[in-house]
Amino acid sequence: MLIIYQNLEKFAFYFNNIPNSDNFKGWKCISKLFYENYNIRWINLRNSFLTDKSLEIIISNLLDKRIRYLNLCNNNLTDEVMKKLEIFLEKNSTLKRLYLGYNKITSKGLFYIQEGIKNTQI
């Protein structure tokens, strides 16, 4: 399910239980939505069966966005993609909430997150 909300204050994307989300081409299309919309504030990718490869594509199109809320809970993310997320976190000064629960992230991945947010207000 894809829900897009837009008003003057925020542009939000909510994805939930995306079927066949191993489809790399599908994630490239979704990522293009992020690239083309500068005013994105909220992104909810909870339960979206994200893999490291799909999140790398998404992150690459979010680097210059002013994201305030990013929910990546309950996916298949590992420590490997946390290094890419660290770069995103270092460049994003507007993020207030980041959710990563119920993934395959160890203390190594959390170290990358900690490094990425050390100069932010999360």
Task: Compute the average pLDDT of residues 31-57.
Answer: 87
User: Are the CB atoms for 90 and 112 separated by under 8 Å?
Assistant: no
pTM above 0.75, yes or no: yes
- Domain ranges (residues) in the chain: 2-117
CATH of the structural domain 2-117, one choice from 3.80.10.10, 3.20.20.70, 3.20.20.80, 3.90.1200.10: 3.80.10.10
Distance separating alpha carbons of residues 89 and 37, to the nearest angstrom: 19
Task: Output the pLDDT for position 49.
Answer: 86
> Quick one: tokens of 69?
């809320």
Classified as helix, coil or strand, 98 is: strand
The predicted structure's pLDDT at residue 120:
74
Task: Give CA 85 to chain center in angstroms.
Answer: 8
Tens-digit pLDDT profile for residues 87-107: 999 999 899 999 999 999 999
User: What does the pLDDT read at residue 106?
Assistant: 97
Q: Tell which phi-psi region holds residue 23, choosing left (phi > 0), alpha (psi between -120 and 50) or beta.
A: beta
Q: What integer best gives the mean pLDDT of the chain?
A: 82
Q: What is the mean pLDDT of residues 29-38?
A: 80
